Structure 1
Amino acid sequence: MDHNEITLNEVLRHTMHDFLNNMHILQMNIDMGKPEEARALIQKYSQKCNQFFDINNIGLYKTNEWLQTFGIKYNQLTLDVQTSLLNRKAEKYDDALKDYLNRFVQAIYPHFRGYQEQLLKVHIISDEFLEILIDIRGDWSNNKWQDELTGELFQLQILETTDNSIKVKLIASGRLE
């Protein structure tokens, strides 16, 4: 699949499929007399929706679109998004962040093995500065992901690199004002 081109129909089909699966899981928990599990799922799904709106509210529209369509493009990799968003006005970093995340995943994705779980965690923090923590786990060998340039808007801090893990932090070059 071309990792850059996704049709609106593909997005809607994927969204409807996920929605229907989630409703079936909720119904199954209710039918089995497990209201606490059903409530926990509702909380999980609500949190995901709130994160979507929060990311948009700080001005990361294109990054948010990339995150929301991630599962369609990269089905061998599970994405876990976390947010700690206190400050808005991150829009000037949107294109650069989306571009960096896309290049990072495209650089490492061909090295994944489909028979093992691969997990990508992205934690977006907007306080005084915009920071993005990227933590990826899987069984794959090192490659040239570090050669990717972060550009003028981000500084890259490498926290860990092994054959099974990469942890990096992107820090915006300027304060969020």
Structure 2
Amino acid sequence: MKNENWTVIQAMRHARHDWMNQIQLIKGFMALGKLEDAERVIETAILQARQEAHLCNLRLPNFAEKLLTFNWEERSFQLEYEVLDHETSVNIQDEWLSEWIDSLFHLIERHIKRYGDNLLSLSIDKADEGLRFFFEFSGIIQNEQLLLEDITSQLEASYVQQWKIHEHSSQEFLFEVVL
């Protein structure tokens, strides 16, 4: 399901479904007497809620919505994100950033195995020049060289202030971008 404009009802339905899954896990672990596992699920839920709040505090509503709803849609990879400096205020155009990240996600999807165990971890942090994004992909890359060329082309053609590819192989791709 690709939905560009989530209604409040649709968003609530997905959020409620996610929370119910976590509550069911907690109840299941407690029923089995696995309190440490239940505690782990609770801590994960708390950390996730904090990260969602940090993301929303960037005051980039379109960008935040993209990341918050990404895993609700059928995608070729799962997305995890972390906002490292939750006091960050940024001077980036929200609409442009949303379109840029969306095109980057689509680019990555074109070069990975569709039903592989694919994960993209995104860390967001303040930089002297703007906002730093650190991308760490792990999964099955179908054509590593073509992905490298396409990402390089996108980073050179956009309003990226700095970028660096740290590592790449057929199973992982690490790069950072400052906007």
TM-score band w.r.t. shorter chain = 0.7 to 0.9
- Residue of structure 1 equivalent to 2:58: 58
Q: Give the TM-score of the pair, scaled to structure 1.
A: 0.83
C-alpha change, 1:115 and 1:151, in structure 2 (3 Å) is closer
Q: Distance in 2 between matches of 1:13 and 1:76?
A: 22
Deviation at 1:47, TM superposition (A): 0.8
- Residue of structure 2 equivalent to 1:146: 152
Q: Give the TM-score of the pair, scaled to structure 2.
A: 0.82
The letter for the 2-side match of 1:88 is T
Asked if the contact 1:56/1:64 (under 8 Å) is kept, the reply is yes
Secondary structure at 1:107 match in 2? helix
RMSD: 2.3
**Residue pairs, 1:1-177, within 5 angstroms:** 1-2=1-2, 4-85=4-85, 87-126=87-126, 128=128, 129-139=130-140, 140-141=142-143, 142-143=146-147, 144-149=150-155, 151-152=158-159, 154-172=161-179
Counting aligned pairs with the same residue, the percent is 20
Unaligned runs of 5+ in 2: none
Q: Distance in 2 between matches of 1:52 and 1:34?
A: 27
Q: Distance in 1 between matches of 2:50 and 2:86?
A: 14
- Residue of structure 2 equivalent to 1:175: none
Asked if the contact 1:87/1:127 (under 8 Å) is kept, the reply is no
Secondary structure at 1:92 match in 2? coil
Q: Distance in 1 between matches of 2:42 and 2:127?
A: 28
Deviation at 1:91, TM superposition (A): 4.5
Q: Distance in 2 between matches of 1:97 and 1:156?
A: 15
Size of the aligned set, in residue pairs, is 172
Unaligned runs of 5+ in 1: 173-177
Deviations 1:34-73 (A, max 9, x none): 2222122111101111111112223232221111110123
